[in-house]
Amino acid sequence: MKVDANEFSVVLIVDEVTTEKIQGIRRELPPSPVREDPPHVTLLRGISSSDYKTDDYLLEAIAPRLEPFLRTKPSAVLGILHTIGSQLYGDTSAFEVAMPEVISQYRQGLIDYLISSDFMVEQRELESYRPHLTVTLGVAFPEDKDFSSILKTGETIEFVSFALLRTQRRQADGPRLVRVVRPSV
């Protein structure tokens, strides 16, 4: 899979309580062989433009759409913790996330806005959305462990901020790195 240095994702950062719980689960698992991102749910990935845009430009384009949305205190419900397969990272432990219709509608509006603003969105993102909260990239969920005392299926998580995850490469064939770009408060 080719990774474009111009590619970025929009992610919703979870609240402090959920972040602490995810960190508690991470302490019980082997460390990620890839990287450790801040706990988040990806709203949209595979976004790029025909010419390289600076992070400031991207924030200016997206922040006016995301900040009012986040003031509504959007939330979602956690599903089961399980292992998901990833072409880039291998088996990864993650919670399924049941997103309310308002977030799905907001996501579609963001896609429409980006496309009308000369950004490109990968076709796979237009066809499906499988929201999840990654626990540890590249580490499968151990089925012999129970983390329900830390974080339970059915718990509500709140989204308190957003970030752009900017795809980068160490070398042409190296691992994907991500720079987290947050708006100034």
Lowest mean pLDDT among 28-32, 89-93, 133-137: 89-93
pLDDT at position 79 over 80: yes
> Residue 114 to residues 62, 107, 111, 118, 152: CA-CA distances in angstroms?
9, 11, 5, 7, 35
How large is the average pLDDT for residues 128-145?
A: 90
Residues 36 and 173: their CA atoms lie apart, in Å, by 20
Q: Does domain 8-178 have CATH number 3.30.390.50?
A: no
- HSE-up (13 A, CA, CB side) for residue 166: 17
pLDDT band per the 50, 70, 90 thresholds, residue 116 = very high
Regarding pTM above 0.95, the answer is no
What pLDDT band is residue 55 in, cutting at 50, 70 and 90? Answer: confident
pLDDT value for 3:
43
Per residue in 5-53, pLDDT (tens digit) is 567 889 999 999 999 999 999 999 999 988 788 899 999 988 888 777 7
What is the C-alpha to C-alpha distance for residues 41 and 96, in angstroms, rounded to an integer? 10
Q: Of 53 and 107, which is predicted with more confidence? A: 107
**Which pLDDT score, from 0 to 100, does residue 170 have?**
47
Region of poorest pLDDT, from 55-69, 113-127, 146-160: 55-69
Kindly tell me if the per-residue pLDDT of 172 is higher than 50: no
Angle between helices 101-116 and 55-71 (to 10 degrees): 150
pLDDT reported for residue 88:
73
